[in-house]
Amino acid sequence: MPFQNPTDAQIKALLHMTRTIAVVGLSDKPQRASYIVSQRLQTWGFDIIPITAKPQAQILGAVVYRQLSDVTTPIDCVDVFVRSEIVGDVVDQAIALGIKLIWLQKGIVDEAAALRAQAAGLCIVMDRCLMTEYQRLFPERML
């Protein structure tokens, strides 16, 4: 069976319970999509955990980790901004950690990894922008 994104109702229910978002591939460059989306998510009250291989102490005031398994606090959602060929490893880490929601940003597609996540009982959204979808699903929360 081919991959299908969850329904709006399913996504909204999970986002309603989401407080902490690990952003894989978060750039420290303000013009990059990962930075813009993460900064906006912070203004909406989400805690952001930057995940990047680039050594640095903080991005957007949050401590940087090299991989998901290094994070010591619970993660509700993983927002992925890395190339599609790297997604499988990120999804496997999220499965191992039992993270309930994986979000692959616009243009990021890995159907095999998405199906693995679904088979493991995780919700995964693929090829959509978390910021755009949050604005659409929760217009009452916009500043």
| Helix, strand, or coil (residue 53) | coil
Widest Cα–Cα separation across the chain: 43
User: What are the tens digits of pLDDT across the range 16-32?
Assistant: 999 999 999 999 999 99
Residue closest to 132 by CA, chosen among 79, 63, 96, 60: 79
pLDDT at 143: 57
Do the Cβ atoms of 93 and 70 come closer than 8 Å?
no
In this predicted structure, the answer to whether residue 1 has a pLDDT above a threshold of 80 is no
Neighbours of 53 (CB within 10 A): 10
Phi, psi of 59 (to 5 degrees): -135, 135
pLDDT at 142: 74
Q: Between residues 54 and 73, which one has the greater pLDDT?
A: 73
**Do β-strands 20-24 and 47-51 pair in parallel, antiparallel, or remain unpaired?**
parallel
Do the Cβ atoms of 127 and 107 come closer than 8 Å?
yes
Domains detected in the chain: 8-137 (3.40.50.720)
